[in-house]
Amino acid sequence: MRNPRHVLITGATSGIGAALARSYAVPGRHLTLNGRNSERLALVAALCRASGAVVRELVLDVADRDAATTKLLEVDGEDPVDLLIANAGISGGTHGGSESADQVRAIFATNVDGVLNTVLPLLPRMEARRRGQIALMASLAGHRGFPGAPAYCGSKAAIKVWGEGLRGQMAAVGVEVTVVMPGYIETPMTDANDFPMPLMMSADRAAALIRDRLARNPARIAFPWPTAVTAWLLGALSPRLTDPLLRRLPKKA
């Protein structure tokens, strides 16, 4: 969608979410920015207001289904959302050993249920208006389950596949859906990794790329392309060929 008037971004307190908020902040644009930490959210909101945007701060844990439904319907009722970027997510891996049950459930609660809790309340509204765009933040890790981060990979794979199907479903009613699959981005999430991360990209550069490509309504935004091709190939090859290699890779913190 070109020039959305009202953009709603979840997980806007840091990383790609905060960079996207700053990237979309222009005079006259309405931004609804979500996060769990009110102080960090206020800092991002202040930067966006300084760029001329009209900003609403939405302090909310997207994993809370009832609260998310109530607040998002309230926001959309007052100011219809043109572009929803479901970005909120958390990470974790097997650096300290096997993933705990609590870690697995927490990752899926935010990365999968949190996305559903964000998208599903607004989807009927956009369908009724026959316009709108939804961007789902997946990851290149969603192409293949990596032993270093099984839950994270699984959560992003779920969003990738759901988004691809949802795009086809909603095309007939004029609602655009794009799956976003970044590689390594300089964020607090990747700061915890103590291994080489090839072709690392700044959050600001990633946000500008996502913003510009979303304007063209692509099915998928996957970048940087060498990492995207490698991740796709690892997912396409037989596990018999790739498992021995992947088991030797560093574990995610």
Task: Identify the active-site residue in 24, 108, 146, 152.
Answer: 152
- Amino acid sitting at position 164: E
* Beta-ladder partners of 8: 32, 84
Distance CA(204)–CA(126), nearest Å, equals 28
CB of 220 closer than 8 Å to CB of 178: yes
CB of 215 closer than 8 Å to CB of 2: yes
Q: With CA atoms as reference, report the closest residue to 243 among 253, 234, 232.
A: 234
Distance CA(231)–CA(149), nearest Å, equals 14
Q: Which residue has the tokens 């789902």?
A: 136
Q: What secondary structure letter does DSSP report for 28?
A: T
Active site residue 152: yes
Active-site residue numbers? 152
